[in-house]
Structure 1
Amino acid sequence: MSRPVRLGGIGISYDIAIAGAGPAGLAMALYLKRAGYRVTVFERFEEPRPVGSGLILQPTGLTVLADLGLLDDIMALGARIDRLHGADASTGRTVLDVRYDAQQGGRFGLAVHRAALFGVLFRAAQREAIPIETGVEIETLETGERATLIRSGGRRAGPFDLVVDASGARSKLRHCAGNARAPRPLTYGAFWASLDWRGEGFDEHALLQRYDKASVMIGVLPIGRPEPDAERMAAFFWSLKPAAADA
């Protein structure tokens, strides 16, 4: 993977603010710090923490973690996924059957608890002494030759040469980049839970899903360990439209 493009000439460093201490914000902070920039991360929670259950890191995401020198750390926690399989709940007929090894290259996915991914990146940021200011709600920013963050209560932070918005779908900063549109809600949502992995009847290297027509889907995903000394877990999720959940 190519290294980050420098923002200026040789020997020039910049002050950079990153809004959001999720995986994207922390990964960006690591890259920018290693490129020689002065980076500060701002997080609205009092204590940085993951939100959600499990996810599958695709080969591209694993490549980024390898480039950051964190692949061994996340591999020790996650569950290797070789196959995505879905079937009709009534008939058992296969509807989805995707294998990572269908193409050459030894590709695979890695299912992880969000806490595992967050922990690997957060600990790396701590090792590199990247400042992370918590309990900071960024409301907007003032732009000009440099940018100043406006926090809740009118307090100011900065100035910065660059502001990276990694605060997610509900970002309050999107309008500052000329994008005033509110994010559209997804057609489907999901109930989810992180449970102890029992293994019986499930493939430990596959995402398994069952469908009721095109309206309901449930699935089980092995997600490894959230922390090095924890027990293995699985993510159970039930996807349906929000209106059906309210009913």
Structure 2
Amino acid sequence: MSGGPVDTADVVIAGAGAGGLTLATILGRAGIRVLVVDPRPAILPVGRGELVQPLGLDVLSDLGLLESLLALPHVRNASFDFLDGQGRILMRSRYDQGGGRFPFAISLEPHLMDRMLLEGISRYPSVQVRFGSGYVDHRVLPDGVDVFWTEQGESRQTRAVVLVGDDGRRSRVREKAGIAGVVRSYRDSYLSWSFDCPSDAPETVSSTQGRYFIAPGKIFFLFAVSPVRR
């Protein structure tokens, strides 16, 4: 397979998700040449919330990005409540029991954090992030890997030392590498979304306290991603 003129990089990352962008940040700080390819036109809202757990906050703090994260619309979660179908509390899971630096998790909309990571990466000239570009295939070499990808419909080829897949649960990188994986579907439906909280919403919705509502065969998880969004 030929992808046209061959460029070089130390690391190619397929996918500009939170994991890929965080890795690109770490490598960029070390001056390692990184190419990130992602088929999306840009980082777009996905209509759901995300939790950054204490370990993730540790990583972002070590990268000097915690202040930037906390400047985004978010909610700090010290605990989560588990309630029955009548709204009675069954248990409370608290983050201050872990003994880490951060006795809380941060909830926010994930595209905001990804955009923050992307902005931080712009400080590192050794990292290129190419949207509208998709991984196609790769060929393993004795001393590295040839990565074939497309950009605006044109074939590209990059010779790298390492290829990293951050392209989701149906990873094309994993498929092409022949790495076994099992994708299991939920037996029942699963729906996730974010929305503006109505001013007249009941306390169970207006509160920023994260809550799991549990009933036989059912579970509903509600948490805030900002003071005004759920």
TM-score by length of 1: 0.77
Q: Which runs of 5+ in 1 are unaligned?
A: 1-12, 225-231, 236-247
Q: What's the offset of the Cα at 1:81?
A: 0.2
Judged with a 3 Å threshold, the aligned counterparts in structure 2 of structure 1 residues 160 and 104 are, in CA distance, closer, same or farther, namely closer
**Higher RCO (C-alpha 8 Å, min separation 6):** 2
Runs of 4+ aligned structure 1 residues displaced above 4 Å come to 103-106, 202-205
Equivalent in 56, 79, 93 of residue 61 of structure 1: 56
Judged with a 3 Å threshold, the aligned counterparts in structure 2 of structure 1 residues 220 and 182 are, in CA distance, closer, same or farther, namely closer
Asked whether the equivalents of residues 79 and 204 of structure 1 are also in contact (C-alpha less than 8 Å), the reply is: no
Letter in 1 for 2:110: R
Matched, 1:220 2:217: no
Q: What's the offset of the Cα at 1:189?
A: 4.9
Residue deviations 1:191-214 (CA, integer Å, cap 9, x gap): 23222245751475521121231x
Equivalent in 103, 112, 116 of residue 107 of structure 1: 103
Letter in 2 for 1:17: V
Equivalenced residues, count: 214
Distance in 1 (CA, whole Å) between partners of 2:10 and 2:98 is 43
Report the counterpart of residue 79 of structure 1 in structure 2. 75
Task: Give the root-mean-square deviation of aligned CA atoms.
Answer: 2.5
Distance in 2 (CA, whole Å) between partners of 1:44 and 1:131 is 14
Query: Partner of 1:127: helix, strand, or coil?
Result: coil
Equivalent in 143, 148, 171 of residue 140 of structure 2: 143
Q: What's the offset of the Cα at 1:182?
A: 4.6
Distance in 1 (CA, whole Å) between partners of 2:54 and 2:144 is 37
Query: Partner of 1:33: helix, strand, or coil?
Result: helix
Q: What's the offset of the Cα at 1:218?
A: 2.0
Task: Quote the sequence identity (%).
Answer: 27
Q: What's the offset of the Cα at 1:104?
A: 4.3
Asked whether the equivalents of residues 47 and 194 of structure 2 are also in contact (C-alpha less than 8 Å), the reply is: no
TM-score by length of 2: 0.82
Asked whether the equivalents of residues 43 and 111 of structure 2 are also in contact (C-alpha less than 8 Å), the reply is: no
Distance in 1 (CA, whole Å) between partners of 2:108 and 2:76 is 9
Equivalent in 132, 138, 145 of residue 129 of structure 2: 132
Report the counterpart of residue 45 of structure 1 in structure 2. 40
